[in-house]
Amino acid sequence: MNPRTDGRGRVCPRAAFVVAAALVAGGCAWDGPMSTVVARSDLNRSILHVYGIITWATLIIGLVVFTVLAVVLLRFRALPGDTTLPTQIRGHTAMEIGWTIAPALILLVIAIPTIQVIFRTQSAAAPRNALEVSVRGWQWWWEFRYPKLDVVTANELHLPLNRPVVFAMEGPDVIHSFWVPQLGGKRDVVPGRLNRITLTPEHAGEYWGQCAEFCGASHANMQLRVIVEEPAAFDRWVAAQKAPPPEPAGDAVQGKDVFARNACVGCHTIRGVSAGTLGPDLTHFGGRALFGAGLWPTNPENVAAWVKDPPALKPGAKMPNLHLSDADARAVAAYLVGLK
């Protein structure tokens, strides 16, 4: 779009304003993937309830304040030639009491539901049938462990519909923040400290999340996806995760060999092949739709480009450039993508 000029080559301020307003408004979406006003869990419904109370309270306070301000401006404005001061009020006991009590009441109205929601969502005792998920934030990816199910995955979290889930969060390196806006508020993942969120997903679907605490060069590239599905579909996913990785065929045979001979094994686990713990578990890497913490679709071209030179694609990436040949990178990609 080209804002209209005034004939002398200068941008017309009104046209520029309209274009800017259209761009700003275009960035707003009620139901975008990172919308905080779409509640898809009990936790988010509670948060939205408090949010509603605070919004209404603020709106009413704003209306009262601006009405009083308008009346004062109009009624008591200085008239030309008028030099007398309006009546000055000092030490008006009723007014003093009024404007002390009114804010206290407003704070009370906001505090009671807020504290109730905080206690409800922070309670240490989880519901008995709750699914446990341990969340670890790494620079710059997410590790998800299901301790009772003996399943480990990365960046893509599967949850059964309508079953409470307890996230237990801790971090091995720096502070991150786990945030899936449509499922609940963000909570920090802090080294040496265990934080929890308990929630029940109430709608099947795919939800986006993002690290919400600045954690270094690729903070913005630390995304996650949550797939909420029917319990039967979740059980099938768990069974697939527990199965051993498929044996490679074709190009992938050489890929497995390259993987096993190189430093890959020091950081990654592929069950039956390696047992590294510094990078994502790759046992079922090919079954995840995206890789690199939500950055690229998992396909042979993208994965080959990634293993060739990770820091070039993701600033600060801890996975080094191993100087693999193009053929080796393609073979490793074929192997990894085949690990469904």
Binding residues vs ligand CUA (CB under 6 A): 137, 140, 176, 211, 213-215, 219, 222
How far is Cα of residue 160 from the mean position of the Cα atoms in its chain? 19
Nearer to ligand CUA, 211 or 339 (CB): 211
Look at the alpha carbons of 97, 103, 106, 111 in this order and tell me if their dihedral is positive or negative.
negative
Min separation Cβ 225 and ligand CUA, Å: 15
Shortest distance in whole angstroms from residue 291 CB to ligand CUA: 17
Q: Which residues pair with 180 in a beta bridge?
A: 184
- Residue closer to ligand CUA, measured from CB, 149 or 175: 175
Nearer to ligand CUA, 140 or 285 (CB): 140
Pairing of strands 296-297, 141-146: unpaired
CA angle 263, 290, 208 (to 5 degrees): 125
CB of 142 to ligand CUA, least distance (A): 9
β-pairing, 269-270 vs 184-189, is unpaired
Q: Are 335 and 252 in contact (CB under 8 A)?
A: yes
Instruction: CB nearer to ligand CUA: give 66 or 214.
Output: 214
Find tokens 């920090």 and name the residue.
Answer: 188
Nearer residue to ligand CUA within complex by CB, 173 or 251: 173
Nearest-approach distance from CB 176 to ligand CUA, in angstroms: 3
Cα–Cα nearest to 309, from 289, 294, 297, 292: 292
CA 28, distance to chain mean position in Å, is 17
Q: How far apart are CA 188 and CA 179, in angstroms?
A: 9
Task: Name which of 27, 33, 312, 20 is nearest 180 in CA terms.
Answer: 33
Nearer to ligand CUA, 41 or 139 (CB): 139
- In angstroms, give the least distance from the CB of 174 to ligand CUA: 7
Helices (H), 9-145: 13-26, 42-75, 93-122
